[in-house]
Amino acid sequence: MIDAIRERFPVEREIDNILTRKMHRRAGLSFQLPSLDDLVTATTAMISARVGYPVTLERARWLSGGASKLQVAFDLRWRGVDGAADAVTLTPMVMRMETAASVTESSRRREFEVLQLVDGIIPAPKTYWVDSDAEFLPYPGLIYGFASGVAKPSADAGKVTGLGQNYGPELRAKLVPQFMGMLAALHQIPSSQFSALPSFEVPQIGSNESIVKQVNTARRIWEEDRLEEEPVMELVYRWLISNAPPLDHVSLVHGDYRSGNFLFDEESGAITAWLDWEGAVLGDRHQDLTYVTMPIFRHIAEDGQTVLMSGMGTAEELFDRYKTVSHLGVDPERLRYFGIFNRYLVAVLLLAASARAAQVAGTHQDVLLNHLAGLGYIALDDLLENFRRIVE
């Protein structure tokens, strides 16, 4: 079955490795939540092996949030990467590890490479080490620096992070310029730097091959994980393949750029770190632009009428700001295409990946994933409505 799916839906090499590993892992396995002590022991052994001398972990604790990965925060007592520091220091860090199944089955190696590349370009956690083959940890994971800030304002803290997040007028005014300015900076990273991403395939301008592979990735996940058939997914897949636009510019695409996926200082309004880079790809900037406008991340402004995308502004306001700061342009046809692509992807992740991960007891977030699977039917309806609007 795995070979047949791989042949029908070709994807990037590293993505193929990850999805194939998922299917083999699924056979007869279920997720057992490791104890905090066991993770501390494994993480200590991993870091000690990487730096070449014994280290200790202090104040280890679980981090809340995250529908797909386990995270443990700790203070590392060490003498630096090469052990040459004059004094022992304490550095706050986070261990981020996969579970047996996930909403977003992804590569810790790719996530590690991307975080290293964007260091100094937009705020993101500093990366230290990756255990991409689970040599030390129960599942693949990475170690990065602890980033300060909050993911949602205290005045709107009761919601699932990012879903209809309301920042309020004062905080919104501070966040919007950063939100779009950092997206522009991400998309403007020169292609000469993509050699730092050996686990990624660099697309060619004028070709749509990379976009087709992304569509195939979503379709492959659908074939592997869905619990029931939905005919619209076949129709939309065929349209996405037939209408995949050639690239006019190769950008590093975050893949999950939205409210809830960045930390900020609530007092100053400064964005301190962008998180959740596991879905990053090299591709078309319009993928990020349309993801920002997904319905699940919107809410109505204080006037009771204006729709704020990712809690930031109207689509027109955000796209105009992006054009001004990026000088890359925004193509309405590509917006329409990737608007369908992102809706297709979200439907896959909710109706297939989330539902399957919960069914096989593959994660620590079964309750949340069942909730997300239910939202999948809302996402499917939104996909169908927008698809009809384009093809009719």
Give 205-249 pLDDT, tens digit per residue: 999 999 999 999 999 999 999 999 999 999 999 999 999 999 999
Query: Considering the domain 154-391, what is its CATH architecture?
Result: Alpha-Beta Complex (3.90)
Q: Of the CATH numbers 3.30.200.20, 3.30.460.80, 3.40.50.920, 3.30.70.120, which one belongs to the domain with range 31-145? A: 3.30.200.20
Domain boundaries, the chain: 31-145, 154-391
d(CA 266, CA 256): 22
**Residue 28: its pLDDT value, please?**
66
pLDDT tops 70 at residue 289: yes
pTM of the shown model:
0.94
| Mean pLDDT score, 308-323 | 96
Mean pLDDT of 6-13: 97
pLDDT band of 263, cuts 50, 70, 90: very high
N residues, the chain = 392
Q: Give the pLDDT score at 371.
A: 81
What value does the mean pLDDT of the chain take? Answer: 93
Task: Give the confidence band of 369 by pLDDT, cuts at 50, 70, 90.
Answer: confident
Question: Does 264 score more than 80 pLDDT?
Answer: yes
Please give the pLDDT value at position 65. Answer: 65
Q: Is it the case that residue 30 has pLDDT exceeding 70? A: no
- Stretch 272-288: mean pLDDT: 97
Does 68 score more than 80 pLDDT? no
pLDDT of res. 347: 96
Residue 66's pLDDT is what? 62
pLDDT value of residue 155: 85
For residue range 122-158, list pLDDT tens digits in order.
999 999 999 999 999 999 999 999 999 999 998 876 7
Task: Please determine, for residue 117, whether its predicted confidence score (pLDDT) is greater than 90.
Answer: yes
